[in-house]
Amino acid sequence: MTHGAFETTHAAARDRYDRMAYRRAGRSGLDLPALSLGLWQKFGTDYAYETQREIILHAFDLGITHFDNADRYGPPHRAAQQVFGRVLARDLAPYRDELVLSTKAGNPIGPSPYLRGGSRKSLLNSLDHSLRDLGTDYVDVFYHHRADPSTPLEETASALADAVRQGKALYAGVSNYTPEQAHAIAELLRVQRVPLLVHQPRYSVFDRTPELSGLLDTAAADGFGLVVYSPLAQGLLTDKYLQGIPAGARAENSAFLSPDAIDAVYRERAAALNALAQGRGQSLAQLALQWVLRRPEVTSALIGASSTWQLDHNVKALDFPPLTDDELKLIDEHGVHGTGLNR
């Protein structure tokens, strides 16, 4: 079809904004979908491009406007950005103004000292490369992927602020920072009139670090939103592992989920949570997504997907009634912090 000056093979669903909930990112003016699509896994060269394309386009048709990427995502590194760049050029270019594209830099992507850390050279060079990968003039959010104690925080903050001032990013974010680090860089960015938009931490029923560390309180005080990753704890908060490890499951060969995590204690806790979910007429995954989204500090939860069915299933989590106080108490009883986590 033809859409303005663009040639595309995809016409976005007309009702794409009817079902998705949108939430304000901290004290900014930006709304993000309650569920965002993360390209952390399954968007490298080890998966079929046509399947990846189908998932991205279906996500947009469901009202998922935020697509989360990083220079590190693959394999190999940068491959996920290149996949999205192909879809953007072929299908989503007419809708670029409706997309929130984010990328990150700072986690190691090679042996060079300039391919890691929080220096001005590392961050701004990576951003330029990411823009080429994505085939766009700017990203909406540029994150520092992980705090770098070997680089002055003032330098990292200055690089993020300059990316915004240069028009290469609209907003600045950080990921995997402690509450103290997040507050410090929020203050530095505020002085430069480039507020910290979002922080991306890991958060789930089985990983309550943002609550225990005080990050939720810091986010509320400093006015940034949280875009949480691994809300399903690498699949532990689904029904996949309730009977052990099925053939071909992620736990067989993942650096982020050990087979040792699938023990009797985990299965007992997950089974109790699954029973609660079934009593609500939903899946354990849908319950887990609702649980992280119950907090007003959480702007969006990142979900991955290996199929369009999985996307549909997770988005349906938004249709269920809020969790009651009694249900939250049961989740606290069985959703014990640290269950199944690699440390």
* pLDDT per residue of the chain (343 residues) written in tens, 0 to 9: 444 444 567 999 999 999 899 999 999 999 999 999 999 999 999 999 999 999 999 999 999 999 999 999 999 999 999 999 999 999 999 999 999 999 999 999 999 999 999 999 999 999 999 999 999 999 999 999 999 999 999 999 999 999 999 999 999 999 999 999 999 999 999 999 999 999 999 999 999 999 999 999 999 999 999 999 999 999 999 999 998 877 666 665 566 677 888 899 999 999 999 999 999 999 999 999 999 999 999 999 999 999 999 999 999 999 999 999 999 999 999 999 999 876 4
Separation between Cα atoms, residue 315 and residue 323, nearest integer Å: 17
Burial (CB count within 10 angstroms: exposed 0-12, middle 13-18, buried 19+), residue 260: exposed
- The two three-digit tokens of residue 296, written as one number: 């007003």
Instruction: Specify the 3-state DSSP secondary structure of 14.
Output: coil
> What angle (nearest 5°) sits at the alpha carbon of residue 286, between those of residues 283 and 287?
90
Q: Give the chain's count of helices (H) and strands (E).
A: 11, 12
Residues 6+ apart with CB under 8 A from 76: 44, 45
Percentages helix, strand, coil for the chain, rounded to the nearest 5? Answer: 40, 15, 40
Separation between Cα atoms, residue 58 and residue 214, nearest integer Å: 36
- The two three-digit tokens of residue 265, written as one number: 């204690």
Is residue 279 a contact partner of residue 289, using CB atoms and an 8 Å limit?
A: no
Residue where the block lists tokens 């992620």: 250
Q: pTM (2 decimals)?
A: 0.94
Is residue 49 a contact partner of residue 316, using CB atoms and an 8 Å limit?
A: no
Which run of H or E residues covers position 332?
helix 325-334
Half-sphere exposure of 235 toward its Cβ, with a 13 Å CA cutoff? 22
Helices (H), 42-152: 49-61, 79-87, 120-134
- The two three-digit tokens of residue 37, written as one number: 């699509």
Residues 6+ apart with CB under 8 A from 178: 147, 213, 215
Separation between Cα atoms, residue 112 and residue 129, nearest integer Å: 15
Instruction: Specify the 3-state DSSP secondary structure of 291.
Output: helix
- The two three-digit tokens of residue 309, written as one number: 């069915």
Separation between Cα atoms, residue 91 and residue 6, nearest integer Å: 9
Is residue 226 a contact partner of residue 215, using CB atoms and an 8 Å limit?
A: yes
Of 295, 281, 119, 127, which is closest to residue 204 (Cα–Cα)? 295
Separation between Cα atoms, residue 109 and residue 115, nearest integer Å: 6
Residues 6+ apart with CB under 8 A from 150: 117
pLDDT the model gives residue 164: 98
The CATH fold assigned to 2-238+291-322 is TIM Barrel (3.20.20)
Separation between Cα atoms, residue 69 and residue 43, nearest integer Å: 10
- The two three-digit tokens of residue 50, written as one number: 């046509």
